Chains A and B, each alone.
Chain A
Amino acid sequence: MIAVVDYGVNNLASVVRALAAAGHPATLTADPDIVRKAERVVLPGVGNYGRAAVTLRVTGLGDAVREVAQAGRPLLGICLGQQLFFSESEEAPGAAGLALLPGRVVRFVTPLHVPHVGWSEVRPTPAGERHGLTGPLLGDTGAFFYHVHSFHPSEVPDECILGEADYDGPFPTIVGQGSIVGTQFHPEKSQEAGISLMRRFAEWTP
């Protein structure tokens, strides 16, 4: 069973729909016990890092997600959900993320308009080409995914950066380690490329 974690953020229904379109029905849940027992877990999210970090802590959902990761079961973070895999974000100094991946989340520093919104090409890194999920997804040419964000991962070790996109320079947009994968973009809004990512996640053996 795939659990999609409901922690009071937007865009949950579209994540469940994209998984269903990929042939893998999922359960939307706010119950930490269901998350803890799920075979695979998706942590979606659009919203504020600080508020989301507090919600994950007080509901016990954060601990449940951490247990899933520690058990080596597949865990996918989307946008804010992915950012919460890091320990901290410039969006909410002092707020504690889940600290599942090395690195932190920073604001875009660019003369370009922020947020970065739109379909951006994602290229695999060498680590991404070797990765069981992103390798077959991106091939050696990449694919376009829909991004909407003002913050992005930074100071991530090379081996944990699986895909990069450009917005006044490259930034990590797919990150991961072990059974954890996170995307800065929205696969549920990225049409066939996104549904393909969902399908590969649902069928992935880390």
Chain B
Amino acid sequence: MLARRIIPCLDVADGRVVKGVHFEGLRDAGDPVEQAARYDREGADELVFLDIAASYELRSTTLAMVGQVAETLFIPFTVGGGIRSVADAGAALRAGADKIAVNTAAVRSPDLVSQLADAYGTQCVVVAVDVRRVQDRWAVMVTGGRESTPLEAIDWITELEHRGAGEILLTSMDRDGTRSGYDLELTAAAARAVDIPIIASGGAGSFAHLAEALEAGAHGVLAASIFHFEQQGIGAARSFLRERGIPVRP
């Protein structure tokens, strides 16, 4: 039995974990190394670390912090933010990441996804896709949600699978930070479109929201606010999901 995954996310800016609403109005949520150690202790299935201030480069300060976080973890660890080349990805992997996440750089240069898959294997390549509903379509957004693209989310995800993405981190910007639940329609449409795992992100406000996204077809659920601020434990989330009949680790 393959367990569904609970994945806390550390959005990091200037060395601190932060969390906003619709990607804006960032609040401080602690020290990345301490938070990572806490989530490992509580039994998170993976951890995602996104340097949200690093749209332009993978900075050496970030790499040093990735190394410190990796020291505390015995679970798979994804690092994103400012990865624009195979060399950037290699640097993140050497610093202790198990997978790397790309977003804007994949939209600007889709070949990068294939290059990363060739260099490190598809299992290493996570593509983050930020989506905003614009009238009747799901628009792919880049540069931390500031810039719209002509790409339609489901078409883009399908292309990413063909190009060698190992999984998709699918964030609804409309729901981000609102704690009103994941965009289940988007999650389900993405899960139907591709065979690679979809990680639902954006909007988790309760354990029931985690369950709904997994029932809609997500392989994993990413959450920040509910774990950072509420002091709700991963263990309690896992118990809740198990009682709903969702396969999770004991």
What's the minimum C-beta distance from B65 to chain A, rounded to whole angstroms?
16
- Measured between alpha carbons, how far is A195 from B75 in the docked complex, in Å? 11
Other-chain contact of B3, A14, A113, A144 (Cβ < 8 Å): A144
B122 close to A (CB within 8 Å): yes
A-B contact count, CB below 8 Å?
64
A10-B71 contact in complex given A117-B197, A121-B3, A191-B40, C-beta closer than 8 Å: no
- Chain A nearest Cβ from B40, distance in angstroms: 7
Contact A117 B1, beta carbon cutoff 8 Å: no
Distance, CA A191 to CA B40, complexed state (A): 8
Is the Cβ of A118 less than 8 Å from the Cβ of B250?
no
Closest CB of chain B to A52's CB: distance in Å? 14
Residues of B close to A117: CB separation below 8 A: 123, 166-167, 197
What size tier do the contact residues of chain A reach?
20 to 34
Q: Tell me if B2 is interfacial: C-beta within 8 Å of chain A.
A: yes
Give the distance in Å from the alpha carbon of A50 to the alpha carbon of B75 in the complex.
27
In the assembled complex, the Cα of A117 lies from the Cα of B122 at a distance in Å of 10
How would residues 103 to 129 of chain B score, 1 for a CB under 8 Å from any chain A CB and 0 otherwise?
Answer: 000000000000000000111000000
Contact A188 B2 (CB under 8 A): no
In the bound complex, residues from chain B placing their C-beta under 8 Å from that of A116 are 2
Q: Is residue A95 within 8 Å, beta carbon to beta carbon, of the partner chain?
A: no
Does A194 count as interface, using CB distance less than 8 angstroms? yes
Q: How does the 8 Å CB contact mask read for A137-181 relative to B, with 1 for contact and 0 for none?
A: 000000110101000000000000000001100000000000000
- A83 at interface by CB-CB < 8 Å: no
| Distance between Cα atoms of A121 and B123 in the complex (Å) | 19
Shortest B74–chain A CB gap in Å is 5
- Quick check: A189 and B98 within 8 Å, CB to CB? yes
A109 within 8 A of B: no
Interface residue? B93 (CB, 8 A): yes
Main secondary structure on chain B at its contact with chain A?
Answer: loop
Nearest chain A CB to B69 CB, angstrom units: 12
CB distance from A21 to the nearest CB of B (A): 7
Q: Give how many B residues have a beta carbon under 8 Å from the other chain's beta carbons.
A: 26
Which of B5, B219, B250 has most chain A Cβ within 10 Å?
Answer: B250
Asked whether, in the complex, the Cβ of B40 is within 8 Å of the Cβ of A119, the reply is no
* In the complex, chain B residues whose CB is within 8 Å of the CB of A194: 74
Does B76 lie at the interface of the complex (its beta carbon under 8 Å from any beta carbon of A)?
yes
- Asked whether B233 is an interface residue with its Cβ less than 8 Å from the other chain, the reply is no
Q: Which residues of B contact A17 (CB under 8 A)?
A: 71, 74
A191 & B43 in contact (Cβ 8 Å cutoff): yes
- Once A113-B195, A189-B74, A190-B74 are accepted as A-B contacts, the answer to whether A10 and B93 lie under 8 Å apart by CB is yes
The answer to whether B2 touches A118 (Cβ under 8 A) is yes
A194 CB to nearest chain B CB (Å)? 6
- CB contact between A146 and one of B43, B76, B96, B167 (< 8 Å): that residue: B76
Most buried by A among B45, B71, B123: B123
What residues of chain A lie closer than 8 Å to B1, measured between beta carbons?
Answer: 120-121, 166
Residue of B nearest to A198 (CB): B74
| A118, B3: Cβ atoms closer than 8 Å | yes
Interface string of A35-72 (1 = CB under 8 A from B): 00000000000100000000000000000000000000
Whether, in the assembled complex, A105 has its beta carbon less than 8 Å from a beta carbon of chain B, the answer is no
16 contacts between A and B (CB under 8 A): A13-B70, A14-B96, A21-B74, A115-B122, A115-B166, A117-B167, A120-B2, A120-B3, A121-B1, A144-B3, A144-B249, A148-B76, A167-B2, A189-B98, A191-B40, A195-B74
**Apart from the given pairs A17-B71, A113-B195, A195-B74, 5 other A-B contacts in the complex at a CB distance below 8 Å:** A17-B74, A21-B74, A112-B195, A117-B167, A188-B74
Residues of B within 8 A of A (CB): 1-3, 5, 40, 43, 45, 70-71, 74-76, 93, 96, 98, 121-123, 166-167, 195-197, 219, 249-250
